[in-house]
Amino acid sequence: MSEPILEVRNLTVHFYTYAGIVKAIEDVSFDVYKGETFALVGETGCGKSVTSRALTQLIESPGRIVRGSVIYHSDKGSVDLLKLNEEEIREIRGSEIAYIFQDPHSSLDPLYTVGYQIAEGMEVHGRVKSIKEGIQKAVDILRSVLIPDPESRVKNYPHELSGGMKQRVVIGTGIANSPKILIADEPTTALDVTVQAQILELIDDLRKKYNATVILITHNLGVVAETADRVAVMYAGKIAEIGSVEQIFKNPLHPYTKGLLKAVPNPMTKVERLDAIPGTVPNLITPPGGCRFHPRCPFAMEICKKKVPELKEIEDGHFVACHLY
């Protein structure tokens, strides 16, 4: 295993609403290694996107990063991203750590051409001297994300492009400054299946080309099996299990991970009815005590209701937060 490029420890984010304090993520810890594709998996509302945004202080009011550290190891040295001021984090955000957001329609400004939007990010971070030079480089970037006829497309506005093309432009904006870490937040949600496969293949090719690290956020286990090296499974704002793709799929330890995998249809076996995890996701204003999964867990014990399980290494590189272990 290579060295970690990112070490996240006890990351906690709360949202202060009129209804109460939403404990969105609580004591989330994981490492991301150089050059890998690290997947954050879990059902909608489990805290995947909040975790990814908190890494570079992109939490807006009424949200607040309560505690934790995000140690980023760059060529210039190691730094805690959560201790940087706004000016310092802006130098890293978009340059060394870039995002591909979930919805390309809201990620692009309808008032500017796609070439201008790619060029603007490059000019802000000093990669080009002017917008004009940036637009010239944007042509090559659009070509690298497989957009046909990039010389004319660079002059298009977002509404003139299809959903798949918009997503490619968003990816182009993300890779424009050759980031060390690319955070892809459900980059294929709004796309049809054939375009999904092309986008995922493109992100993987770009990772190899730029020697980047990808943090992939998704709830699609098929995507994870196809593209990721390691996986962290999240449930109700906490990490349930971390391991390699092979460990998670062949030997899942946490009851929640097992439930997720059983709910995925397997074309190789004939099953009359898929298993479902009973119950619903808890309200994070008043989450259950102890293990947050215990109200839905078939193996729940008395200790599960009282004590929060620690994330422990069961085998080499395979961690689980469960009292069964």
Does some domain include residue 295?
A: no
Question: Could you tell me the pLDDT band of residue 308, with boundaries at 50, 70 and 90?
Answer: very high
Judge whether 36 lies within some domain. Answer: no
**How far is the CA of 163 from the CAs of 35, 100, 108, 138, 142, in angstroms?**
28, 14, 11, 19, 15
- What is the number of structural domains in the chain? 1
Q: Which domain holds residue 166?
A: 94-228
pLDDT score recorded for residue 106: 85
Considering the domain boundaries, does residue 151 fall inside one? yes
In a domain, 248, yes or no: no
Q: Which of 138-152, 197-211, 244-258, 286-300 has the lowest mean pLDDT?
A: 197-211
Inform me whether the pLDDT recorded for 1 exceeds 60. Answer: no
pTM of structure: 0.92
In a domain, 85, yes or no: no
Opening angle at CA 250, ends 248 and 251, nearest 5: 65
Q: Residue 146: inside a domain, yes or no?
A: yes
Residue 51 lies in a domain: no
Q: CATH number for the domain including 149?
A: 3.40.50.300
Average pLDDT of span 247-251: 94
Average pLDDT over residues 185-191: 78
CA atoms within 13 A on the CB side of 113: 17
**Residue 190: per-residue pLDDT:** 66
Tell me the pLDDT tens digit for each residue of 104-146: 888 899 999 999 999 999 999 989 999 999 999 999 999 988 8
| 158 in Cβ contact with 114 (< 8 Å) | yes
Question: For residue 162, is it within any domain?
Answer: yes
